[in-house]
């Protein structure tokens, strides 16, 4: 089984996708992968989400996960569709236990020291920092990182192509989540691929290892 840490290291940006029509799933995924982004997070914010996951799992090279997982039933639905990892906006013991029991890589959301401590008590060391910009931006996460040196993060929420690099410069940030790659509405696939290519080329700060 691939760990959540290994998945987070596959590319610097994980597209956060809200897709309303299953027919758009394959073209969007293929454009993102062509641009160099293999890891795709499909949020459970639409009725089509589970089928979108199922459709994307049929694409060679795609690593497809479910985002906005709020309860155990959703976790099971996504697993049945082939989801390879799961992401939540917060951290609950119920979902942590359910993900462990099902052996699916899991990335819960945190925003405070208390959240991180509860996650550490549950045996976790990788978290989604959410909502990233509204929770104080890179300066806030840098302060948290200094207290929890062995923890690794994926900031998500409010990031843009212009601000992503500031987050990736933080030593303990392995990747970021970005919804800017696929705007709402009819997708311009050439623009999506171009945005993915720029995102996949983002350079992390040189220096200390991000192991």
Distance CA 34, CA 192 (A): 10
Question: Lowest-confidence range among 75-79, 192-196, 205-209?
Answer: 205-209
For residues 132-141, give the mean pLDDT: 97
What the block records as the tokens of 42 is 């499909």
pLDDT band at residue 185 under the 50/70/90 scheme: confident
* CB contact burial 142-163 (16+ within 10 A = b; e otherwise): bebbeebeebbbbbbbebeeeb
pLDDT tens-digit map of 144-162: 999 999 999 999 999 999 9
Q: Check residue 96 and give its pLDDT.
A: 98
Residue 208: what pLDDT? Answer: 42
pLDDT band of residue 1 (cuts 50, 70, 90) is low
* Residue 205 annotated among the catalytic residues of the structure: no
Comparing 1-5, 82-86, 204-208, the range with the smallest average pLDDT is 204-208
Tell whether the model's pLDDT for residue 125 goes beyond 50.
yes
- Determine the pLDDT at residue 66: 98
Q: Where do the domains of the chain lie, and which CATH numbers do they carry? A: 4-200 (3.20.20.70)
Catalytic status, residue 41: yes
* CB environment 62-87: b (16+ within 10 A), e (fewer): bbbbbbbbeebebbebbbebbbbbbb
| pLDDT for residue 203 is more than 60 | yes
Q: Dig out the tokens for 188 from the structure.
A: 């311009």
Whether the per-residue pLDDT at 53 is higher than 50: the answer is yes
Select which of 30, 41, 55, 193 is catalytic. Answer: 41
- Single out the catalytic residue among 128, 142, 205, 208: 128
> Residue 170 — pLDDT band, cuts 50, 70, 90?
very high
* pLDDT grade for 29, boundaries at 50, 70 and 90: very high
């459970």: which residue's tokens?
Answer: 44
Q: pLDDT tier at 210 (50, 70, 90 boundaries)?
A: low
């Amino acid at each position: 089984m691939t760990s959540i840490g290994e998945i987070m290291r596959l590319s610097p940006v994980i597209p956060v996708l809200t897709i309303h029509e299953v027919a758009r799933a394959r073209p969007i995924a293929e454009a993102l992968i062509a641009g160099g982004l293999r890891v795709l997070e499909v949020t459970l914010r639409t009725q089509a989400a589970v089928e979108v996951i199922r459709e994307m799992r049929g694409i060679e090279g795609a690593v497809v996960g479910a985002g906005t997982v709020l309860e155990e039933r959703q976790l099971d639905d996504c697993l049945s569709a082939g989801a390879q990892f799961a992401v939540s906006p917060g951290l609950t013991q119920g979902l942590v236990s359910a993900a462990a029991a099902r052996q699916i890589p899991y990335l819960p959301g945190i925003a405070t020291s208390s959240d991180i401590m509860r996650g550490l008590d549950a045996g976790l060391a990788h978290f989604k920092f959410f909502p990233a910009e509204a929770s104080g931006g890179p300066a806030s996460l840098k302060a948290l990182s200094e207290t929890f040196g062995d923890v690794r993060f994926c900031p998500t929420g409010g990031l843009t192509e212009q601000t992503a690099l500031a987050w990736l410069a933080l030593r303990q940030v392995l990747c970021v989540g970005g919804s800017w790659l696929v705007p709402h509405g009819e997708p311009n696939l050439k623009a999506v691929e171009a945005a993915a290519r720029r995102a996949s080329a983002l350079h992390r700060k040189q220096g200390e290892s991000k192991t």
